[in-house]
Structure 1
Amino acid sequence: MTHRAPDGRIATASGPGYDQAPPRAVYIHIPFCTNKCHYCDFNSYVVQGQPVMDYLRALEREMERTVSRIPAKSVESIFVGGGTPTVLTPEQMRYFLGTVNAYFGDRAADCEITMEANPGTTDPEKLAAMREGGVNRISFGVQSFDNKLLETIGRIHNTDDVYRSIENARAAGFDNLSIDLMLGLPNQTIGAMNATLDAALALGLAHYSAYSLKIEEHTLFHTLYHKNKLPLPDEDEELDMYLTVRRRMNEAGLRQYEISNFAKPGMESRHNKAYWRNKAYYGLGAGAHGYAGGVRHFNIKGVQAYIDACRTGLPVKETHDVSRQEAMEDFMMVGLRLLDGVRNDDFRGQFGVPMELPFGAKLEKMVQSGLLEAVGDGYRLSERGLLFGNDVFGEFLE
């Protein structure tokens, strides 16, 4: 049941009928960008003219009120997303990271602190502020090494910006770097995909993500698509791109650990793995989602509305009490995105029963159809299941 929470309530007790450990992961949303890309439906706004410092002060108030209700202890990962967090000036960055350290300073010794960045927005002074503030991982939204494609999708950086940004980050002492790539873009060919992979893999980074373009409502691409003015690759071409990405990453010594993610051994995104393991996490900032105490919540989206809400309480727009059945379904849907799959040891840890008890018939059906493999203490996607993941995930919504 979803219900409005005018008082900004976030539950602190365990959800009904299952264990929900306190959050060890923190997501913080910075909603400002240099521009709006043609495919983007994220909660983001062009930074020019925005009340950035007012927003950062409001975010500090949300942090304070949140940890007073759900104390932050032994935090294992912090992820700063957007938007483009690196549009903050060095002074704004120092202020922001100072508030993060004040309220989420009780951290594991190896806590992963990631900040999303756009190429061209990370000069040496800003990178120094990020390092001083504790950031130890940067995820760059590169998308492609084809300048024409970058222009087509509305990115304002070019490949020179990418190389300069990676060089600056390494010079500043960052060695845990990731880049996002996209496939299925307008007029993208398998040749263009291979050229992008040549350039990306030559950088020798710790982590790569490769996502298919999705046409989302309220974007320029959605409008063009419905006017038949968006020349997208067909399904076979996009599948060929995905298979090429998988093969090339594997040949480069990068392990695919999730449907869209590849990493050197030990360099997987710990923060995203918390999501895929259906763990609790704090969600802070305009439009952010969080999950704690068996309750999901999402915040008010608008920048000024968020600032105003933080003056009097938590900026929560709605909350949703997660039932035991829904939590079990979520566990399976997100966990099977990982190539290691789901384990009964983890399932029992959250729910006290083996996964065969609620899902035995579904699991047997998918094993028999070749979409899942039974492995050791659990199940994982087969090679075929990896290509038809949505069919597998959909089984747990019935």
Structure 2
Amino acid sequence: MVTAAYVHIPFCEHICHYCDFNKVFLKNQPVDEYIKALLKEMKRAMKDTPASSLKTVYIGGGTPTALTAVQLNTLLKGMKEVLPLNNIEEYTIEVNPDSIQEEKLAVIKENGVNRLSIGVQTFNESLLKEIGRTHTKSSVEDAIRRSRQAGFTNISLDLMFGLPGQHPVQFIETINEAINLNIEHISAYSLKVEEKTVFYNRQRQGKLTLPPEEDEVIMYEQLLKRTKEAELFQYEISNFAKKGYESKHNLVYWNNEEYYGFGAGAHGYVNGIRYQNHGPIPKYLKAIEQGALPTLHSHKVSPVERIEEAMFMGLRKREGVNIDHFEQRYGRSLLDSFAPQIELLKERGLVVIHDGAIQLTEEGLLLGNEVFEQFIAVLES
């Protein structure tokens, strides 16, 4: 049963140097037409593969708050008409500190959104310029103040470390700034230089200087230390929350559960099929205009692939992969299926069996990718 939906808004007022998500400059784009097409896609999906009740919705981008208040209202009201949102538990929208005004916050709040994810990345002014962000430390503080005044009690900040020229002290200062704002949730990710980004081109030209690996390790260890002291509990490799404020939507992904993906370039997972929509907006709009779902390609996930996904996504959670739940869901023993891999990882001190689950150790958190690859392409179909 599908209980979650991701909605993609590809428009940005400025393109960040590290971003490889499907996005376009906002100026001269057919935004109103896109919103209409998005609602048509949702309506068709509900007809083809209906859901009785969505528990979580996440609107990401791009920059959703690049839309005007009127456009946001059209989108959110339209979603209430075509999606089963009466019992929604967590409704998130991504927010850019530069584009979140009182009028937009009021529209978002009135339409049932109850969680904001604010893209901060760093509080260091020079690093913000280096990564192509246009906001400032004070604009973040102002965005949070206005969000609180609008009635939002569940706010997450996105942070990044391992940025070009970043020193561990700078990241520690950013962590402290975030904690001092008394927000409910922090997501903190290490920079990955992806193709089709400004940073990728600079790296190819030898013009991108990244921190040494040992500095990244220090940054991550300080992240764990400071969030723990502030009672923001780590529930996933890169995510920290006050008790009860863990992201329910992201847990859908890490628990290998199904979800709709709506919008240009969006990914979804419904009825055992993973799919991706057309990314270019003209192709997305054309597919909708022709009366079809805008699917670019799809893949039926095999039983073995489901198991592999369950392991490398589930192990991201601090609670790990529950052994009994695994057998109930997939009809086979976790310990028998991966006996050699688990034994090897235990010997290396990267995983433990605790509370009926396989979990990463503190060392395993630092070497997560080495753990995950042990569970890929080792089972027979």
Distance in 2 (alpha carbons) for counterparts of 1:283 and 1:140: 21
Q: Deviations over 1:158-180 (max 9, x none)?
A: 11210111011000000100000
Residue in 2 that maps onto 1:204:
182
Match for 1:180: what amino acid? D
Q: 1:97 aligns with which of 69, 72, 76?
A: 76
Whether contact under 8 Å (1:190, 1:240) holds in the other structure is yes
Shift in CA distance, 158/310, structure 1 to aligned 2, threshold 3 Å: same
1:136 partnered with 2:114 = yes
Q: Displacement, 1:360?
A: 2.3
Residue in 1 that maps onto 2:29:
50
Residue in 1 that maps onto 2:131:
153
Secondary structure class of the residue paired with 2:22? coil
Residue in 1 that maps onto 2:256:
278
Whether contact under 8 Å (1:119, 1:157) holds in the other structure is yes
Whether contact under 8 Å (2:264, 2:280) holds in the other structure is yes
Q: Displacement, 1:378?
A: 1.8
Shift in CA distance, 291/388, structure 1 to aligned 2, threshold 3 Å: same
Alignment: residue pair count: 376
1:182 partnered with 2:160 = yes
1:330 partnered with 2:309 = yes
Distance in 2 (alpha carbons) for counterparts of 1:266 and 1:305: 41
1:23 partnered with 2:6 = no
| Unmatched tracts of structure 2, length 5 or more | none
Secondary structure class of the residue paired with 2:274? strand
Distance in 1 (alpha carbons) for counterparts of 2:76 and 2:12: 18
Greater mean alpha carbon deviation, residues 348-357 or residues 201-210: 348-357
Q: Displacement, 1:376?
A: 2.5
TM-score normalized by the length of structure 2: 0.97
Distance in 2 (alpha carbons) for counterparts of 1:363 and 1:212: 26
Distance in 1 (alpha carbons) for counterparts of 2:304 and 2:173: 46
Whether contact under 8 Å (1:73, 1:106) holds in the other structure is no
Secondary structure class of the residue paired with 1:113? strand
Distance in 2 (alpha carbons) for counterparts of 1:316 and 1:307: 11
Q: Displacement, 1:50?
A: 0.4
Q: Deviations over 1:130-160 (max 9, x none)?
A: 0111100000000011111101100011112
Residue in 1 that maps onto 2:321:
342
Distance in 2 (alpha carbons) for counterparts of 1:343 and 1:208: 25
| Unmatched tracts of structure 1, length 5 or more | 1-21
Q: Displacement, 1:107?
A: 4.1
Q: 1:367 aligns with which of 325, 346, 362?
A: 346
Distance in 1 (alpha carbons) for counterparts of 2:248 and 2:325: 16
Q: Deviations over 1:66-118 (max 9, x none)?
A: 0101112221100001001011111100110012111223443x510000011
Whether contact under 8 Å (1:72, 1:103) holds in the other structure is no
Shift in CA distance, 370/206, structure 1 to aligned 2, threshold 3 Å: same
**Higher relative contact order, structure no. (Cα contacts within 8 Å, ≥ 6 residues apart):** 1
Whether contact under 8 Å (1:73, 1:107) holds in the other structure is no
Residue in 2 that maps onto 1:381:
360
Secondary structure class of the residue paired with 2:134? coil
Secondary structure class of the residue paired with 1:120? helix
Q: Displacement, 1:295?
A: 0.6
Q: Displacement, 1:356?
A: 2.1
Secondary structure class of the residue paired with 2:338? helix
Distance in 2 (alpha carbons) for counterparts of 1:63 and 1:36: 27
Distance in 1 (alpha carbons) for counterparts of 2:168 and 2:336: 44
Distance in 1 (alpha carbons) for counterparts of 2:56 and 2:250: 9
Q: 2:293 aligns with which of 305, 314, 317?
A: 314
Distance in 1 (alpha carbons) for counterparts of 2:270 and 2:337: 23
Q: Deviations over 1:40-72 (max 9, x none)?
A: 111011111100010000001100110101112
1:263 partnered with 2:248 = no
How do 1:76-115 residues align onto structure 2 when only pairs under 5 Å count?
A: 76-108=55-87, 111-115=89-93
How do 1:278-297 residues align onto structure 2 when only pairs under 5 Å count?
A: 278-297=256-275
Residue in 2 that maps onto 1:121:
99
Q: 1:216 aligns with which of 166, 178, 194?
A: 194
Secondary structure class of the residue paired with 1:75? coil
Whether contact under 8 Å (2:319, 2:357) holds in the other structure is no
Distance in 2 (alpha carbons) for counterparts of 1:292 and 1:346: 21
Match for 1:289: what amino acid? H
Match for 1:144: what amino acid? T
Whether contact under 8 Å (2:7, 2:59) holds in the other structure is yes
Residue in 1 that maps onto 2:12:
33
1:226 partnered with 2:215 = no
Whether contact under 8 Å (1:140, 1:178) holds in the other structure is yes
Percent of aligned pairs sharing the same letter: 44
Q: Displacement, 1:375?
A: 1.2
TM-score normalized by the length of structure 1: 0.93
Residue in 2 that maps onto 1:15:
none
1:236 partnered with 2:223 = no
Distance in 1 (alpha carbons) for counterparts of 2:278 and 2:338: 36
Runs of 4+ more than 6 Å apart:
none
